[in-house]
Structure 1
Amino acid sequence: MHTSFPRATTREFDASHFRQALSQFATGVTIITTRLADGTLLGLTASSFNSVSLDPPLVLWSLGTKANSMPVFSGNSHYVINILGADQIHLAEQFARKSENRFEGVNYSLSRTGQPILDGVSAWFECHNRSRYPEGDHVIFVGEVEQCEVTPQPGLVFHNGKFAKIDAT
């Protein structure tokens, strides 16, 4: 059930101050990948990832409504969420840049549905594109996890506008 409430009333809301406040929350770093019907690979860096449910297994992430990749991620049946390890800052930066081929020089394998799984990630989740919810200037994607894998290692986080490595051992 989706419940809507009247819009909040804010006076002279400062978007840059809001962004600065959000930057104080450390997030994990992911690369969301998918493959088009013609075999073209698509991927992007995202820190807006979260678990939703264990039964059924659901996760979410969000994408800006103006992103060039929005039609692809909205229309494809599957995608993979790759959780980056501490030594993969270069991948986070590569997939965050505007580029014709973000996969150049990147090692990967294909999932059972043909989606790219990046080599060396600390975990990955192959998701069925279950639902999408437009909210503000983003769309929230909810994926039903069909399979996942984990390779425990130090993690990569994003905090205060910078990448940082964590070692939870």
Structure 2
Amino acid sequence: MDRHNRAIDPIELRRAFGTFVTGVTVVTTRDEDGEPRGMTANSFTSVSLDPPLLLVCVNKSASSFPAFATTQSFAVNLLHEGQVDVSAIFASKSLNKFDAVNVDSVHTGAPVLTDSLTWFDCTVHSRVDAGDHIVLIGHVRAFGTSPATPLGFCRGRYVSVNDPLPTGWSASQSMVVGYLIEGSDSILLRCDEKGHLSLPTARTRKADNQVVLASGQSVSVEPERTFLYSVFDVADSAPGYLIYRASIAADAARDLPEGLQFFPIDDLPYERIPSREMKAVLRRYARERKGRRFGIYMDSRNGGRVAMIESEGLYGA
């Protein structure tokens, strides 16, 4: 047999491919019943900026392959160095993979891992059959990133990445913008698939009469009654938060976007709010509201401070 036609040893070929240092991703989607499905993959790359395209390869032997073969949307979640366990779980055949992570729906409805290095929410641009894999080419519809250290992989094992955030790089594309929207002595909260609660997040900063949510839906609020309430960081692995307070517009509470619900301010279910920082924001708001004297919290290295507003009329009732 001449050297051009000799058989390729698949084991040795896999080892050779494995010398290329990659990141680690969890690719997620929903099956035809709406159930979340996901798998670990490191065959991921960017494709184009205009239009914004990426690709990921899905093994046909994966248990979640049928879902990816027919889905119209998916998310690619790049893992950080603290998520080795997440990588292992999604590489397994566990039936309860999503019990180990918090997920959210951002644009397409595909499950986005809220604690990840970077996520891309995509619609399917095209599929390419490629041997024992299919290549999913995704059109990026939304994305988010953080300054966390990437989880690396090479030669069949996890590796460390040194100096992951060069000087001058932005820690994230932007601050996460949250909205504390009040109506009839209640606060509007977002509920995820696990029943966890959080403030709704928005695509832009201070709104006029419409808060455009990260999901693309919108909530009508009272014009000229939106005010900055809190600025803080969560952790080195996540972007900071800008929290605004607002009042829902008349009649808007009767037609809320899916996943949003009002809860009484004096009886908020704090046990369902996993974020310590969000609990603190809501407890402060409930306390200040009783005295009708609000403040602006500004985070700092020494713990931050609240600048109180002396005149309620300047800040809104």
TM-score, normalized by the shorter chain, greater than 0.5: yes
Distance in 2 between residues matched to 1:139 and 1:114, nearest whole Å:
22
Match of 1:159 among 154, 157, 181: 154
- After superposing on structure 2, the runs of 4+ consecutive aligned residues of structure 1 that deviate more than 6 Å are none
- The residue type paired with residue 116 of structure 2 is V
What is the distance in 2 between the residues matched to 1:71 and 1:42? 10
Distance 1:36 1:12, change over 3 A: closer
Pick the aligned partner of 1:25 from 20, 23, 26: 20
Q: CA deviation at 1:10?
A: 3.1
Query: 1:12 Cα deviation (Å)?
Result: 2.9
Matches within 5 A, 1:18-97: 18-97=13-92
Choose which of 79, 88, 95 in structure 2 pairs with 1:100. 95
Distance 2:72 2:130 in 1: 21
Distance between the aligned counterparts of 1:90 and 1:126, measured in 2?
Answer: 22
- TM-score, normalized by length of structure 2? 0.49
Letter matched to residue 98 of structure 2:
F
Question: 1:126 and 2:121 equivalent?
Answer: yes
Question: Does 1:148 find its partner at 2:140?
Answer: no
Shift of 1:11: 0.4
Q: Which moved more, 1:81-90 or 1:100-109?
A: 100-109
Aligned amino acid, residue 125 of structure 2: R
Q: Offset at 1:66?
A: 2.7
Contact 2:80 2:149 (C-alpha < 8 Å) held by counterparts: yes
Over residues 117-148 of structure 1, what are the superposed CA-to-partner deviations in whole Å (9 max), with x where a residue is unaligned? 11221110001111111112111110010111
- Alignment match, 1:3: none
Contact 2:19 2:154 in 1 (8 A): yes
Residue 6 of structure 1: aligned partner: none
Displacement of 1:162: 0.5
Alpha-carbon deviations, 1:14-62, whole Å to 9, x = none?
2211111111111110001112343311110000000001100000010
Q: CA, structure 1 residues 22+109, in 2 after alignment: closer, same or farther (shift >3 Å)? A: same
**Normalized per residue, which structure has more strand?**
1
Paired with 2:128 and 2:34, the residues of 1 have a C-alpha distance of 27
CA distance in 1, matches of 2:160, 2:82: 8
- Cα displacement string for residues 102-125 of structure 1 (whole angstroms, at most 9, x for unaligned residues): 111321222233221112211100
Please, which runs of 5 or more residues in structure 1 have no aligned partner?
1-8
Of all paired residues, the percent bearing the same amino acid is: 38
- Which runs of no fewer than 5 residues in structure 2 stay unpaired? 166-317
Tell me the CA shift for residue 87 of structure 1. 0.7
Aligned counterparts of 2:59 and 2:32: Cα–Cα separation in 1: 23
Relative contact order, CA 8 A, sep 6+: which one is greater? 1
Q: Larger % of helix: which?
A: 2
Deviates more, 1:68-77 or 1:121-130: 68-77
From the CA coordinates, give the structure whose radius of gyration is larger: 2
Task: Report how many residues are paired.
Answer: 161
In the alignment, the residues of structure 2 paired with residue 137 and residue 38 of structure 1 have an alpha-carbon distance, to the nearest angstrom, of 25
TM-score using structure 1 length:
0.89
